[in-house]
Structure 1
């Protein structure tokens, strides 16, 4: 493992020291297989779990991806932009082939349809998202929270929601929205 890390660092592909966690891996249950064991160079019977997530998700991969923290920040920024009505910047976060599924409605496919939804079809006139939870794993970021606002009909609403965002090439490629109270 140390040879792998040194090689990545030599090629400029790694600038952060990966975290080494003895006998616990990354703590995520390694659903993505990000952890492995290394050993043999230490005392007899030496085995260490090494979290490879910092290697796999490093920002220094020369534009080949985002790290988990960047994805979380982008998703949180999405809610700030939508609440502020800053649509031009918001649309830049999404892949050209975006697919957006909202509970109880047909899928919105492609960036053009996605933009049309926000510019004219969205039922919300104004409001504020409060994000209570953000979890990321691999290409996915899940956010959960509440929304309080006013619909275009004038009705005041307060709902809970959960959004699932899947990333591709640094942009949101798939988005799924679920409402806990009622769809809006």
Structure 2
């Protein structure tokens, strides 16, 4: 899918844009998924410094993300205005070859133009 096609899907609704994001990340379409973010977007994820803007997001997905491949299954999606909350499960392979299966929660904030201004991810993992 081209960036142009991705852009045309942005703005159908915030919930649709979030669903498109998971499809693109599972397909490995880094160029496409980065275009869903505003140029000044922030992404917060446990274990990483805050990522800001397209350049840092692209670097993260191409070089730093420990996930090699997999599939996100959205169990629950709640949409309120320009905010979307997701509870889901990820199943896949890490770059070191190990299998990963975990629950996650994502919180997206969208601009009036329909791109992500902020994403924050949480993982269900024993910590304390």
Partner of 2:57: 114
Q: Does 1:90 align with 2:55?
A: no
TM-score normalised over the length of structure 2: 0.85
Q: Deviations over 1:118-147 (max 9, x none)?
A: 011110001110100110112211111000
Question: Are 2:120 and 1:180 equivalent residues in the alignment?
Answer: no
Count, aligned residues: 116
Written as runs of structure 1 = structure 2, the 5 A alignment for 1:126-145 is 126-145=69-88
Paired residue secondary structure (2:13): helix
**Match of residue 105, structure 1, among 48, 65, 80:** 48
Query: Could you tell me how far apart the structure 1 residues matched to 2:126 and 2:17 are?
Result: 26
Contact persistence 2:90–2:101 (CA under 8 A): yes
TM superposition outliers: structure 1 runs of 4+ over 3 Å? none
Shift of 1:90: 1.0
Structure 2 unaligned residues grouped into runs of 5+: 1-10
Residues 73 and 89, structure 2, Cα contact 8 Å, conserved in 1: yes
- Whole-angstrom distance in 1 between the partners of 2:66 and 2:94: 6
SS at match of 1:105: coil
1:104 Cα deviation from its structure 2 partner: 3.2
**Aligned-residue CA RMSD (Å):** 1.6
Deviation at 1:105, TM superposition (A): 2.4
Structure 1 CA distance for aligned equivalents of residues 64 and 31 of structure 2: 17
Distance of 1:77 and 1:133 partners within structure 2: 15
Higher relative contact order (CA 8 A, sep 6+): 2
Q: What is the alpha-carbon distance in structure 1 between the residues aligned to residue 126 and residue 92 of structure 2?
A: 14
Return closer, same or farther for 1:147/1:92 CA change in 2, 3 Å cut-off. Answer: same
Per-residue deviation at 1:182?
6.2
Determine the C-alpha separation between the residues in 1 that align with 2:35 and 2:26.
16
- 3-state SS in 2 of match to 1:132: strand
List runs of 5+ in structure 1 lacking aligned partners. 1-65
